[in-house]
Amino acid sequence: MDLEELKKAWQSQSARLDRLEEQNLELKRSLRRNKISTNRSKLINTYRVLTVLAFVMTPVITVSFRMIGIDLWLAILYAATMLALGFANMYIYLLIRKISPGELSVREVLKNVLNLERSRHRIRMASMTVTLIVVVLFIYALCDDGDYSMMIGGILGAVIGLIIGLRKEASIKATIRAIKADLKDALRDD
């Protein structure tokens, strides 16, 4: 196998160009009309919305909890949880914004993506734990006079949610392992 020959063949490839023409035309139209957005933009928008939602919900929840007669400590606990989630989402939002494919090198992108996935994993684990505790406390506070049917239902729901969350986490962990391997590969030989 002669690599120099193959190099020439690689460079002269244009067989697919005619196939690309139609696709390019369609892409051009869609991109100019903002009909296509990147995965990164979608993630940025999602976390932007989640951040705003968490910050807006903090006072709303505190006030509405007090209005329906929930204990002050529980209302404060809920508000603090929402606030923490807001800051966590903002942190993730900033991390995603940092990963600009046109400005960073492959190594930098891999480092940043690894950092992002690790942070998302940690934040999700922490928020799942905190949410579980807060939900249980909330249901406990709502149960009156020894009627614990609501609490049992709530705990069941929380456990199902936890199982779904943990399954999702397993796939995220696999992604983290793959990025780590790629980063290790990119840092090899230095």
Partner 1 sequence: MNTETQRKQLFDKILSEYSPIVDKVCYMYSTGDEQHKDLYQECMANVWQGLRSFRGDAKLSTWLYRTCINTCITCYRRTQRQESNVSIDNATMLPADDSSRSQDLTIMYNLIASLSPVDKALIMMWLDEKSYDEISEVTGMPRNTVASRLRRIKSRLVELGNS
Residues at the contact surface with partner 1, assessed by CB under 8 A: 1-3, 5-7, 9-17, 19-20, 23-24, 27-28, 31-32, 36-41, 99-110, 113, 174-175, 178-179, 182, 185-186, 188-190
Distance CA 55, CA 81 (A): 10
- Beta carbon nearer to partner 1, 27 or 126: 27
Please report how close the Cβ of residue 16 comes to partner 1 at its closest, in angstroms.
5
Please report how close the Cβ of residue 105 comes to partner 1 at its closest, in angstroms.
3
Distance CA 133, CA 110 (A): 35
In one-letter notation, the amino acid at residue 28 is K
- Beta carbon nearer to partner 1, 88 or 113: 113
Please report how close the Cβ of residue 121 comes to partner 1 at its closest, in angstroms.
15
Q: Give the contacts of 104 (CB within 8 A, at least 6 positions apart).
A: 112
Q: Supply φ then ψ for residue 69, to 5 degrees.
A: 85, 20
- Beta carbon nearer to partner 1, 11 or 149: 11
For residues 152 and 144, the answer to whether their CB atoms sit within 8 Å is no
Please report how close the Cβ of residue 42 comes to partner 1 at its closest, in angstroms.
10
Please report how close the Cβ of residue 99 comes to partner 1 at its closest, in angstroms.
7
- Beta carbon nearer to partner 1, 84 or 104: 104
Distance CA 73, CA 130 (A): 15
- Beta carbon nearer to partner 1, 14 or 149: 14
Buried b (16+ CB within 10 A) or exposed e, 91-126: ebbebbeebeeeeeeeeebbbbbbebbbebeebbee
